[in-house]
Amino acid sequence: MAHHGTIKSYDSSGGVGTISPDNGGEALSFKKSDLQQEGPEPQIGQRYGYETYEIYGNKRRAVYLQLEGEALSDTKH
């Protein structure tokens, strides 16, 4: 994973959330479909590794989120 951060918010009804990068900067949005493993929904304060994807010009979002300590699956979206 290129980046690491902490879950700042997660709305289980909409399947969307935000993650705060460890290196500072603006929180990035993500979707439940961006998570790499099945299981419990993300919880505020959990650490994840992730990649970024640029949308709408210079706006970025988090993709391929992987809970720290979990093995990365070979399958990506």
Model confidence at 75: pLDDT above 70: no
Paired tokens of 60: 């970025």
Instruction: Evaluate whether 59 touches 74 at the Cβ level (below 8 Å).
Output: no
Q: Is pLDDT above 90 for 56?
A: no
Q: pLDDT for 12-27, tens place per residue?
A: 999 999 999 999 999 9
Q: Write the DSSP string, 24-64.
A: -SS-EEEEGGGBSS-SSPP-TT-EEEEEEEEETTTEEEEEE
Q: What domains sit in the chain, N to C, each tagged with a CATH number?
A: 3-67 (2.40.50.140)
pTM confidence score: 0.82
